[in-house]
Amino acid sequence: TRPVLLDCDPGIDDMVAILTAVASPEVELVGVTTVGGNVGIDTTTRNALDVLALAGRADIPVARGADRPYLRSLDSRAASVHGDNGLGGITLPTSGTAPVDATALELIVATVRAATEPVTLVATGPLTNVAHLFAVHPDVASRLARLVVMGGSIGAGNRTPAAEFNIWADPEAAYRVLTEPGLPRPVPTTLVGLDVTYRTAYGPDDLRRLRSGGGVASLCADALEHYLSAYRRDHGMDVVPLHDPLAMAEAIRPGLVTARPAYVEVDTTTGPSRGNTLVDLRGVLGQPTVEVAVDVDVPSALEFISGRLEFRQG
Ligand code: BDR
Ligand code: CA
């Protein structure tokens, strides 16, 4: 089993990513770190703890990370998409468990140093904690087996016409991680963006099927139902993209997405393109820094995620 760390901002689809990870025998989820994103840090941390307890995995350490972006302030979150409680209004049993007495950065550093094999880091929120890791402990970051990031888009954004939410919420952090990593050894990084997550989506029938699984699967269906209404309202879509679960699924089963090397320039200006990921697949602007997902095996990805959720009947 390969060790995996998840840095997240639960978040409806972050919750589904956590549940996918703990139901996967190929990997061991060795820690969860939180970041302010969809909702504030108190709520994302509480949600991470409660989701793990729900899955019977309160033993997995949770560490609280950055609430504020790397550089600039954040004037809005995504409660209109994820609900005020971050989980689409569903109520999880209150676990009463607490985060460990370490920051997200400290937990990531300690876990990577202690691991007997290289750790895969999956990031499904704004990249603030990961940017701090790159800036403060480049030697530790260099030891990662792989970094899988849900974020960005070759095409249009979802938060603004130009920007996907996770990158928009902290473009300076994303610049540090994706455009100028500056590590002693570059970390193989895969950017799983909207181009593939929009295609990996559940429709109303999929949600009905998921709900009939009972337990954890049906809780996910309820939360995703809320997510679906937001995507209907904001984007006129009748499906709900599985953004974060797809990034996690790719980390667990590499090859679900097809990725190509690219130079990615994150827009850190304060204009209308702030948070845009300019993906240069031809190497015109610079040497490739990361791999960008350009295609996904949709049936396999959906089957993979559904299978894991239904297996976890709770
Ligand atoms: C990303 O933004 C968040 O709202 C979701 O949790 C996901 O990580 C999709 O753009
Ligand atoms: Ca997220």
How far does the centroid of ligand 2 lie from the alpha carbon of residue 124, in Å?
Answer: 4
Cβ atoms of 226 and 38 within 8 Å: the answer is: no
With a cut of 60, say whether residue 312 has pLDDT above it. no
Q: How many CB atoms lie under 10 A from the CB of residue 183?
A: 18
With a cut of 70, say whether residue 58 has pLDDT above it. yes
How far does the centroid of ligand 1 lie from the alpha carbon of residue 124, in Å?
Answer: 7
Instruction: Give the pLDDT confidence of 251-280 residue by residue, as tens digits.
Output: 999 999 999 999 999 999 999 999 999 999
**Does ligand 1 come within 6 angstroms of the Cβ of 16?**
no
The CA distance from 61 to 48, in Å, is: 10
In this prediction the ipTM stands at 0.99
Instruction: Give the pLDDT confidence of 179-217 residue by residue, as tens digits.
Output: 999 999 999 999 999 999 999 999 999 999 999 988 899
Q: 44: number of CA atoms within 13 Å, CB side?
A: 33
Pocket probe for ligand 1: among 6, 8, 9, the residue whose CB has the most ligand atoms within 8 Å is 9
Cβ atoms of 12 and 82 within 8 Å: the answer is: yes
With a cut of 60, say whether residue 68 has pLDDT above it. yes
The CA distance from 184 to 30, in Å, is: 25
Among the listed ranges 86-95, 150-159, 296-305, which one has the minimum average pLDDT value? 86-95
Considering only CA atoms, which of 153, 184, 195, 180 is closest in space to residue 289?
180
With a cut of 80, say whether residue 56 has pLDDT above it. yes
**Does ligand 1 come within 6 angstroms of the Cβ of 183?**
no
Atom of ligand 1 nearest to the CA of 197: 9
Ligand nearest the Cα atom of residue 7? 2
How far does the centroid of ligand 2 lie from the alpha carbon of residue 10, in Å?
Answer: 6
Can you give the pLDDT at residue 49?
98
Enumerate residues 6+ apart whose C-beta is below 8 A from 96.
none
Whole-number average pLDDT of the chain: 96
Q: What is the mean pLDDT of residues 148-167?
A: 98
**Helix axis angle, 12-22 relative to 298-311, nearest 10°?**
80
* Mode of pairing for the β-strands spanning 257-266 and 201-202: unpaired
Instruction: Give the pLDDT confidence of 122-141 residue by residue, as tens digits.
Output: 999 999 999 999 999 999 99
**Does ligand 1 come within 6 angstroms of the Cβ of 38?**
yes
**Helix axis angle, 128-136 relative to 104-114, nearest 10°?**
60
- Predicted confidence band at 311 (pLDDT cuts at 50, 70, 90)? low
The CA distance from 120 to 145, in Å, is: 5
Can you give the pLDDT at residue 94?
87
* Mode of pairing for the β-strands spanning 257-266 and 277-280: antiparallel
Instruction: Using a pLDDT cut of 90, give the percent of the chain over it.
Output: 94
**Does ligand 1 come within 6 angstroms of the Cβ of 81?**
yes
Q: How many CB atoms lie under 10 A from the CB of residue 13?
A: 28
Catalytic residues, by residue number, are 243
Can you give the pLDDT at residue 313?
43
**Does ligand 1 come within 6 angstroms of the Cβ of 244?**
yes
Pocket probe for ligand 1: among 234, 244, 276, the residue whose CB has the most ligand atoms within 8 Å is 244
Instruction: Give the pLDDT confidence of 36-47 residue by residue, as tens digits.
Output: 999 999 999 999
Cβ atoms of 10 and 18 within 8 Å: the answer is: yes
Can you give the pLDDT at residue 50?
97
How far does the centroid of ligand 2 lie from the alpha carbon of residue 3, in Å?
Answer: 20
- Predicted confidence band at 231 (pLDDT cuts at 50, 70, 90)? very high
pTM of the model: 0.97
The CA distance from 244 to 242, in Å, is: 6
Enumerate residues 6+ apart whose C-beta is below 8 A from 35.
7, 8, 9, 41, 44, 65, 66, 67, 104, 125, 126, 128, 129
Instruction: DSSP letter for 175, please.
Output: I
Ligand nearest the Cα atom of residue 241? 1
Burial class, 65, CB count within 10 angstroms (exposed 0-12 / middle 13-18 / buried 19+): buried
The CA distance from 314 to 312, in Å, is: 5
Pocket probe for ligand 1: among 122, 150, 160, 250, the residue whose CB has the most ligand atoms within 8 Å is 150
**Does ligand 1 come within 6 angstroms of the Cβ of 124?**
yes
**Does ligand 1 come within 6 angstroms of the Cβ of 77?**
no
